[in-house]
Amino acid sequence: MPSQTYNEFIQRVKDINLAASIEGILEWDQETYMPEKGAETRAAQLALIAGVSHEKLIDPEFGHLLEKVEREADPDPLVATNVRELRRIYNRKVKLPTALVQEIARTIALSKEAWTQARRESNFAHFAPHLEKLLDLKRQVAERIGYKTEPYDALMDEFEPGARAAGVQSVFEGLKADLVPLVQAIKTAPRQPKTALLERKCPQAAQAAFGRRVVETMAFDFAAGRIDLTTHPFCSGASPDDVRLTNRYDEHYLPMSLFGIMHEAGHGLYEQGLLVEHMHTPMGMSVSLGIHESQSRMWENLVGRSRAFWVNWLAPLKAAFPTLADATLDDWYFAINTVRPSFIRVEADEVTYNLHIMLRFDLERQMIAGKLKIKDVPAAWNDTFRQFLGLTPPNDAEGCLQDIHWSMGIFGYFPTYALGNLYAAQFFDAARQALPDLEAQIARGELHPLREWLRENIHRHGQRYRATELVERVTGQPPSHRSFIEYLTRKYKPLYGF
Amino acid sequence: MPSQTYNEFIQRVKDINLAASIEGILEWDQETYMPEKGAETRAAQLALIAGVSHEKLIDPEFGHLLEKVEREADPDPLVATNVRELRRIYNRKVKLPTALVQEIARTIALSKEAWTQARRESNFAHFAPHLEKLLDLKRQVAERIGYKTEPYDALMDEFEPGARAAGVQSVFEGLKADLVPLVQAIKTAPRQPKTALLERKCPQAAQAAFGRRVVETMAFDFAAGRIDLTTHPFCSGASPDDVRLTNRYDEHYLPMSLFGIMHEAGHGLYEQGLLVEHMHTPMGMSVSLGIHESQSRMWENLVGRSRAFWVNWLAPLKAAFPTLADATLDDWYFAINTVRPSFIRVEADEVTYNLHIMLRFDLERQMIAGKLKIKDVPAAWNDTFRQFLGLTPPNDAEGCLQDIHWSMGIFGYFPTYALGNLYAAQFFDAARQALPDLEAQIARGELHPLREWLRENIHRHGQRYRATELVERVTGQPPSHRSFIEYLTRKYKPLYGF
């Protein structure tokens, strides 16, 4: 039985996260339905809510309660998890003076505008002073939060608790060593896909309907979620009972919306799979961005881009899109697995994608450490890009200005995308072991056994285990790039015939 | 130049109302797009925000600031208005202990559920104990807030600041004396409209498109607003830059959506017409529900149901709805002005509508005063209904259980609907005097001059003048039922030929 002190503590935790959940709805509304002129009030509303949440967290009374429940040392893992994670968050937040937090918020608002213009004009110099200032502020954050080895760790910890740059680097090095020859082999392979198939016209309404059918089959609960249209797809919401997916459409490139919505639904299934009884407490919240991304990438790539998946879905696809009536399973499967080094991360295939991430990880780590000067970022980007992907970006808009993250002061986030890809392959291997019939199920259009397995092994645990621990518990192995490379090799070798 | 104290005061006022504006968006989302299972979290979010707003308001520091700015006695009407209105609200809220506020919130949550079931089953007894408890709590509210004559005044003051039951009663008595014979004359008139015209099939999408065109012509700013689908239409939002209208559709009864959206757009134009520079302070907020309703009813009835309006819009109507191709201006104009006593308030025509309101005003005033026992409400409703409208409700679902208001503890709100009708007629008379060309403008489809006049004379003043004062300033007359009765007589005598 949790103590009365703990109950009081947890009520405050719920209020803190409930306030944050309001931000989720307001941000979703901003991207979906808010009239354009509403932006100024929306910014003020979001700042107000963020303030409410922050004040409730750094309230000295909350600090005292936290100390009390720590002294009680309740061994119940549920209690222990909630106390441990709140201590982590409290320690981060309480070290940041309100003036610094507010200056960062103000700087980001200006920086995002400058970045938008800089990208439009492919003019890095216009963005550079903002990036400089944000880096300086984020270095201050890192110093205040503290770190053992390098300041980057303090920042990455917000997104991937427990992860450290040195550890990520060692994983990435192994990954890169295996990935570069694989990309090279694919590039020079004798067989190549018929990509024109992907550019056949598919009306937006039919794409939306088809995507929804797939997501329904994934057992996403539409009584507790929905899909809307936005410029960039995302997954947001307020609770496991209210999960909002968004998507976008290109009538001459079906894969964007199709794999886009499977990706977001993967995130959404994770959110819906968290236990409602622990809502708005760490035991009912996702582990890390890396684990979150493992769910979206598994559904998008390991399921959605698998041959088995299309054994079932090719016929419905042809029925939904008459322009694809002549597509064969082999041609379609090959086309949706086209690998080709390209400039834009969000459009990259699953083989080259991680190279885009490693580049960003390298550069932003040097930037935070002060080893890479801002003025040298474009040249460093292009040099590294050539080295990793064999291409030279034609301009900074398609180079170092392409992502919004840095303009929002988000450093240490990118590596979680690549970690997600690796975790996804490891989890999928474990799922195949646990469900020997998995591939046949997918080929019959039965996706719910996989969802149940994910729910049982990953979703329902909330933050009970840190990412690394969770991977070890579920897969029996520490995080590594091996499953991922094995998966790619197993898939792409026969496809491309190298 | 406002003092530094005043600036500090007004910043707090803005935060209080900014928090309330978040409720506007969350409530809108709940009625439009929220997945059904999201209701529980939404209730918690709304309670959290209401608490934030309330705490900021009753904060003793805010009370001290308020006293300070009162002592400064700045004669600037902008400052004086904001100070006066915050004193009014502060005095109301600070008298209510948090325990009472929370008990009311809990009681309402249960009461709404009970009412929904009671209405579905037409079973008043199921709702009665909840109504009893809410009345008791609301009487406590009235006693704490205080009043000179009767407790009803303290409750009505929330919706129509400055209005008193005795004054409303005297206006209503004059109105009723003129209205009852008018209804009788129409009932027995030689000419009657061809109402079948209204039941021709009009597809929902075409209704939505047509309604939007009308609202665009009213100069509603769609960059600062939108229209969505809900079960019951309403106007909500967050600021003059973010105004959300909703509507509903019956494919066999076009007038519902058409006049429904003109009504909501009337509310919306008021919100959009408030000055952005005073956003979230009384100088940038609407005067009262009565004045708000005057705007919606003016556009719905005095404009939308006028002959002049259809001189312009009949051709577009026929083009949009082929089933109406044979409608003549006379037949259409007569049909949309059908007067017929009926049971449901929200479906009532503009002549009989106020009788529905007077009935509610009479009953709820007696209920609050303890003169009408809860168990006697259905009989009292039916007796009064017979007396006012000459009909006996077939059951309580179509009688005393039809409105949601009482289940939400809202007493003293209904009279504002009737006041809105009277104000609308008075304002429209003033507009006709100020714009001699008004009818011809409307007949040419030019609606913006009326909107400009409303903006200039009503909207932009925010809460500078109380409702009564505003009516006198704009029309040169105190509030009265005369303009309204003159308008009805002028319109319906020639139509029905009595």
What is the per-residue pLDDT across A217-276, written as a single tens digit (0 to 9) for each? 999 999 999 999 998 899 999 999 999 999 999 999 999 999 999 999 999 999 999 999
Q: Answer whether A22 sits within 8 Å of B26, measured CB to CB.
A: yes
Could you say which of B29, B35, B241 has the minimum Cβ distance to residue A225?
Answer: B35
Going by C-alpha positions, the residue among A353, A407, A362 that lies closest to residue A380 is A362
Which pair of structure tokens corresponds to residue B463?
């809460």
Cα–Cα distance measured from residue B176 to residue B239, given in angstroms and rounded to the nearest whole number: 37
Domain B152-498 CATH (choose: 1.10.3720.10, 3.40.50.720, 3.40.718.10, 1.10.1370.30): 1.10.1370.30
- Quick check: helix, strand or coil at residue B61? helix
Going by C-alpha positions, the residue among A467, A27, A11 that lies closest to residue A234 is A27
> Spelled out in words, what is the top-level CATH class assigned to the domain A122-498?
mainly alpha
Q: Answer whether B226 sits within 8 Å of A36, measured CB to CB.
A: no
- Predicted structure pTM score: 0.94
Cα–Cα distance measured from residue B273 to residue A36, given in angstroms and rounded to the nearest whole number: 17
Closest chain B residue by Cα to residue A18: B45
What is the structure's pLDDT at A98?
Answer: 84
Distances (CA, A) of A424 to A297, A434, A467, A468, B286: 6, 15, 12, 13, 54
Per CB-CB distance under 8 Å, the chain B contacts of A52 are: 52
Tell me phi and psi for residue A121, to 5 degrees: -95, 5
Helix boundaries (H) for B274-350: 289-297, 307-320, 329-335
CA distance to partner chain A, nearest, from residue B24 (Å):
11
Q: What is the mean pLDDT of chain A?
A: 96
Interface test with A, best of B25, B36, B49, B236 (most A CBs within 10 A): B25
Cα–Cα distance measured from residue A258 to residue A285, given in angstroms and rounded to the nearest whole number: 27
Which pair of structure tokens corresponds to residue B134?
């809410």
Which pair of structure tokens corresponds to residue A494?
């026969």
Q: Answer whether A22 sits within 8 Å of B221, measured CB to CB.
A: no
What is the structure's pLDDT at B120?
Answer: 94
- Quick check: helix, strand or coil at residue B111? helix
CA distance to partner chain A, nearest, from residue B446 (Å):
25
Q: Answer whether A42 sits within 8 Å of B223, measured CB to CB.
A: no
Closest chain B residue by Cα to residue A15: B48
Q: Give just the sign of the alpha carbon dihedral B320, B323, B329, B331.
A: negative
Per CB-CB distance under 8 Å, the chain B contacts of A49 are: 22
Going by C-alpha positions, the residue among A52, A145, A16 that lies closest to residue A91 is A145
Which pair of structure tokens corresponds to residue A436?
């020997």
Strand partners, A106: none
Q: Has residue A99 got a pLDDT over 90?
A: no
Q: Answer whether A37 sits within 8 Å of B238, measured CB to CB.
A: no
Task: Please state whether beta strands B225-229 and B235-239 pair in parallel, antiparallel, or not at all (unpaired).
Answer: unpaired
> What residues of A are in the B interface, CB distance below 8 Å?
15, 18-19, 21-22, 25-26, 29, 32-38, 40-42, 44-45, 48-49, 52, 221-226, 228, 238-239, 241-243, 279
Which pair of structure tokens corresponds to residue A36?
């354009």
Interface size A-B, in CB pairs within 8 Å, comes to 102
Cα–Cα distance measured from residue A202 to residue A254, given in angstroms and rounded to the nearest whole number: 6
Average pLDDT over residues A47-70: 95
Domain ranges in chain B are 4-151, 152-498
Could you say which of B48, B49, B242 has the minimum Cβ distance to residue A38?
Answer: B242
Could you say which of A26, A221, A242 has the minimum Cβ distance to residue B34?
Answer: A242
Q: Which position has the higher pLDDT, B410 or A98?
A: B410
Q: Which residue among A264, A271, A293, A300 is the active-site one? A: A264
Are the beta carbons of B338 and B460 closer than 8 angstroms? no
Cα–Cα distance measured from residue A147 to residue A159, given in angstroms and rounded to the nearest whole number: 15
Cα–Cα distance measured from residue A388 to residue A385, given in angstroms and rounded to the nearest whole number: 5
Q: Edge to edge, what strands does the sheet with B225-229 contain?
A: B225-229, B242-247, B235-239
Strand partners, B225: B243
Does residue B350 have an active-site annotation?
no
Distances (CA, A) of A176 to A168, A359, A387, A446: 12, 11, 11, 35
Q: Answer whether A35 sits within 8 Å of B279, measured CB to CB.
A: no
What is the structure's pLDDT at B99?
Answer: 87
Residue A497 burial (CB count, 10 A): 10
> Which residues in chain B land under pLDDT 50?
none
Region at A219 (left for phi over 0; alpha for psi -120 to 50; beta for the rest)? left
Cα–Cα distance measured from residue A359 to residue A353, given in angstroms and rounded to the nearest whole number: 10
Q: Has residue A102 got a pLDDT over 90?
A: no
Closest chain A residue by Cα to residue B44: A18
Interface test with B, best of A14, A16, A23, A25 (most B CBs within 10 A): A25
Cβ burial of B178 (10 Å; 0-12, 13-18, 19+) is middle
Q: Which residue among B85, B160, B264, B300 is the active-site one? A: B264
Cα three-residue angle A177-A183-A188, rounded to 5 degrees? 130
Q: Answer whether A22 sits within 8 Å of B22, measured CB to CB.
A: yes
Could you say which of B18, B33, B42 has the minimum Cβ distance to residue A44?
Answer: B18
What is the structure's pLDDT at B429?
Answer: 98
Q: Answer whether A45 sits within 8 Å of B21, measured CB to CB.
A: yes
Strand partners, B374: none
Which pair of structure tokens corresponds to residue B212?
């939007």
Cα–Cα distance measured from residue B266 to residue B220, given in angstroms and rounded to the nearest whole number: 9
Which pair of structure tokens corresponds to residue B5?
């104290």
CA distance to partner chain A, nearest, from residue B21 (Å):
8
